[in-house]
Structure 1
């Protein structure tokens, strides 16, 4: 008898400890019993939980084998339960309810409902192995569309196979909404979704205001994210038809755990779980740089993330308000045409702008069956058309058609993205000289004469330049004072051991940086002579270029090329500016510094040891190319020398 009682008790214990993947009417999950559903493959679990740092109770779905930040979906994110008295139940008509009760399924306050519009005769709720909680008829077709599913109501996580976007039949829209904070899953101010107007594209909105835009889908990738095509772990999918406008991604290796997360600060991150470190690895994120902000430069301008200033007008355009661009530094007015279009006479041409995220397509027109040549003709016939581009690259060539009929907004230059599709900008013939039209014989003769005369003129000016070059290297104090506004404090860039550094502009328009030896400087005439002597022997793209010097009376000044982006330390040690340095840019800076040092140590005529290399002595030009500067402490060696003596210890 004892054995029978023991076996019976074991069977009861086993039935409570074995989780199911299905919820049925009359068998609710209660928080106080810690009951849960586990997907059939054991990948996901559904139950009650509290976020880290909070005592509120929620019903959610999470990764079973992920130890950190594992929650992927929450039902009652707007109304948490204050205690562990919650129940999750399925009604007889197929509606899921979260209520506050006494644990017997008779809830008193409803905190959340699935609001199923379609009544199900014999319903079950099942947790699938893709983290989708579905409500369908028991024993029905597993491949049929469920009466309700959690994937139609995502929170802040996008998982493989989960669609975002529009069901055009019902008008239903699936969007991600960020948490309010790391400990509060209530809906925050940022959402990610698809704008279906014009040529569809993804947006991150802050409230109702766009914050980031993906660019349109071209059959392979969103035009603003061309690197997604090269991703070996996932495949991006997008569909536009009569039933839906939707985006999703798939993973080739089912053992890899990938997700996209919309963070409380509006950052959209692609992450993979690393089992060895038990951490999420951030693979990519947007917005990635200042040009990812929506519409930073106004219409008809391109945003260059690595340039300063970052906004430049498209060819054939000029700033609408030069005062705002040059003085205030506010380019939001954008650019206007230099020459008006001549649609009536048909003389307009197109300029190919490569390596850019295509302009905002919310108001664009699309024809996916048209060839690119027909697209060009369509644009020329439409006097309102300002640009065109291919709508489909999946065939291996450009096909389909998009045209824009207003200002070209939110264009970003994509460094290193040779696969980025081109934009064809409509220009007046005066702003674009085409090289494709055949020349008549008279034009060829004229061109020959022009080239011959030009060559003779160039040789003459080279000879003259050689004669005056040495004189121009030495600048007078008056010339430097005039260039720097008499060493005006407004032009002061900074101060080092040598003395103050001023920004200046010569009469011919060249911008310069002037180092003026201070009377109180610890460095003196020896360092001045040393720097002139060293740099005069050097020529390399990663070394700052000395333009001249001034030795007059007691004055000692060095004149360098002006570096638009200043020194590297102003980026690295500034909380806001350091975010402008993405990993590709940091790598290029490191590589440039290494090239400069290799030249100094091995490839130059003299072996030179800098002795004062630090971030403040690494200058960045307008394209963020690094240049080593400040050679006052440098020491020269012969080509076969490897050691040297010094009377004082200096440098870094």
Structure 2
């Protein structure tokens, strides 16, 4: 149809019947105007005209009709906006959809379905509850002429295929909006690259921006199912929802982030359970070719050359620019293809870009795959991968290997080809320098007598020198301690502390506690560079650092002129320096110089429990086994504080943000700034100044200031229930201020529906019996009456054995009698408040 013919359409449109706002069909020779809607049969989606954000332009699109947050999933005229409300969508009755705008007594074309196939009868356009707008020939849906799912914009809905139609050459891909106000074609696209082993790429323009693992991906979710099709017709990925009540979508946002989201009815918002790229190693080729990026550590060590390679540009490499990648240490073409060469395994990685890799074939064992690689001197690495249940495939890389990343999930082993010299070095490392030890065992007997005499003399001299040096250093350290713990009234802090009255002299409290000089800490943290900052609390900043011996540390730097922060620092030094337990954070030392007051702790790479547990994407990595191990570790740490340490210590601020996680996700209790010490004959204490975080405080402490070991038991119970539910203690109070997570769990427990509170992201890994036991123990720990709660010794025993458990009694949560007694004083007590300090270690 020529453009000139459109001047005739005003006459034709006068005869068209406008569709009802409630119909899901646009029949032949019907149209809809701006202001009318086409609504799918179940009411899930709507088709009509809209203006995005603050824009005044009009677009034809499809959006969720039942969701209050405007969520557009498809746009027809994304690059051709309409000014004003002159838009008209028409079904011409001959198998095509047209979008026009009126002007100058004529209708001008804006968009068309551009159906090129011939049709034999009238066509109807129908909006389905899947969000798909389909143009069908015949009244009985005999033939689909066109569908919007074949032309997605920025959103992937269940049922949409991303991939390539080999027969038509049509590529099904997602393209971002330009901005929140402009749905025009943006700069980022998500598409399938079918070369080699198929992968998904996020492109910025034409350049790779992010890359998935080679497909097929593993789907461990019960509520959706991934499908991969690779045949002569095409190669596609799609997903299907098992529960129609769940709304799920993936979107490429204008900033280039690929997000997978579900609609949370309770919160009334979309929640992302996956987002990428997020960290540096997610971006394509961060470390250049022939290298590996490790997201768990910081540059310059996040980039490492693959075995047999070295940095191409050493100066840039050490200046934190790894984009040049790595080259072979010995560049001769035949150096890796001769006698003695072999392969070094690189474990658990996202394999290098497979679009340039070569398939050897299915049904190939690892041994045969290695043999095939040896035959070809161009083969630089190989890997074997499972092809979606169809067998094991052998994949080989010829030339450079791009975008290799340490990747514990859905990871494979990569076998990198090295020459004889490099292989010998790796074998030597793995065998513990056997040859070197053999040589030493021959030499030593001939000189042992001489060295024994020399060593004895050196030992006696060093012992005398160290004793003298130690006395001088102790004198300096004691002066620093006196300066740090000197109170405003002129007395010494430790001497006025009743909890430490068995300590006779303040200057000899911790002779084993190292004191770092300021220059060492400045060098370790790059002079407290913002790039090393890990976090910030009420009274201190925390930085990541590396000591001269290579040890990574976390430096807690007290905010200057903070009297409350100083009290916390004193308290932490007093309490934690002598505590040694695998589930407590370790204090390495102090730095007190030039007005600075700092504590130096061990560095824990996974930050705090709340950063994983309450992040919709991160908590997916916390399956039930990991969460249960974290619960056990926290319980053991608290038990040590209450029973096995030198003093009975009440933490008073146990919460997920004070539980740090090491590289193996072992929990370590931190932040002893508000802790209190009791002598073993003491069972409880009392304070007029409440400190801690509301929601984690026991009722008797929050209202009356009484604290004991049972106060920490209550806090532990809250953390246990949060870990099981994946929700914060105050999450439910956003909908009902009288209800907390404890109240929600208690109600479900009474109804024998306790498993309904479990975090849905763990469904594939649940041990139902173990989970129910943990919920019951959590409710026992948060009982309202302090006498009814178990102590930590009994709690650890219940967690680790199959002993019969008592039935929980009424828990302490908003709405119970205990909290209602001072509702006015504790209004909003389940909002998360930062602490108010008590007088430290006083009773």
Same fold (TM over 0.5): yes
CA deviations 1:417-443 (Å, max 9, x no partner) are 3x5332222234224329999xxxx99
Partner residue in 2 for 1:544: 586
Separation in 2, partners of 1:613, 1:207 = 48
The 5 A counterparts of 1:3-402 are 17=20, 19-31=22-34, 34=36, 36-101=37-102, 108-129=107-128, 130-138=130-138, 142=142, 144=143, 146-217=144-215, 219=216, 221=217, 228-309=218-299, 310-326=302-318, 328-337=319-328, 342-373=335-366, 374-395=368-389, 399-402=392-395
CA apart distance, 1:213 = 0.9
Separation in 2, partners of 1:280, 1:558 = 41
Separation in 2, partners of 1:283, 1:259 = 11
Separation in 2, partners of 1:499, 1:96 = 61
With over 3 angstroms needed to count, the CA separation of the structure-2 counterparts of 1:60 and 1:362, relative to structure 1, is: same
Q: Is the 8 A contact 1:492 1:501 kept in 2?
A: no
Separation in 1, partners of 2:247, 2:602 = 49
CA deviations 1:299-343 (Å, max 9, x no partner) are 2333222322333333454444443343x2222233344567854
CA apart distance, 1:547 = 6.9
Aligned length: 595
SS at match of 1:362: helix
CA apart distance, 1:558 = 9.6
Answering whether residue 645 of structure 2 is matched by residue 604 of structure 1, we say: yes
SS at match of 1:323: helix
Partner residue in 2 for 1:7: none
SS at match of 1:65: coil
CA apart distance, 1:170 = 2.0
With over 3 angstroms needed to count, the CA separation of the structure-2 counterparts of 1:617 and 1:75, relative to structure 1, is: closer
Structure possessing the higher relative contact order (Cα contacts under 8 Å, 6 or more residues apart): 1
Q: Is the 8 A contact 1:503 1:513 kept in 2?
A: yes
Separation in 1, partners of 2:20, 2:673 = 76
Q: Is the 8 A contact 1:181 1:264 kept in 2?
A: yes
CA deviations 1:41-75 (Å, max 9, x no partner) are 54433233333544432222233322323432121
The 5 A counterparts of 1:421-570 are 421-428=412-419, 429-433=423-427, 484=519, 492-493=527-528, 531=573, 535-536=577-578, 538-540=580-582, 542-546=584-588, 563=603
Tell me the TM-score normalised to structure 1 length: 0.73
Separation in 2, partners of 1:253, 1:513 = 45
Q: Is the 8 A contact 1:306 1:623 kept in 2?
A: no
CA apart distance, 1:599 = 3.7
Q: Is the 8 A contact 1:176 1:193 kept in 2?
A: yes
Partner residue of 2:407 out of 414, 418, 421: 414
Separation in 1, partners of 2:111, 2:191 = 23
CA apart distance, 1:126 = 2.3
Tell me the TM-score normalised to structure 2 length: 0.58
Q: Is the 8 A contact 2:19 2:31 kept in 1?
A: no
CA apart distance, 1:86 = 1.8
The 5 A counterparts of 1:573-612 are 582-583=618-619, 599-608=640-649
- Larger fraction in helix: 2
With over 3 angstroms needed to count, the CA separation of the structure-2 counterparts of 1:295 and 1:37, relative to structure 1, is: same
CA apart distance, 1:595 = 6.4
Q: Is the 8 A contact 1:23 1:124 kept in 2?
A: no
RMSD over aligned Cα atoms: 5.5
Q: Is the 8 A contact 1:307 1:624 kept in 2?
A: no
CA apart distance, 1:583 = 4.6
With over 3 angstroms needed to count, the CA separation of the structure-2 counterparts of 1:614 and 1:320, relative to structure 1, is: farther
With over 3 angstroms needed to count, the CA separation of the structure-2 counterparts of 1:51 and 1:512, relative to structure 1, is: closer
SS at match of 1:291: helix
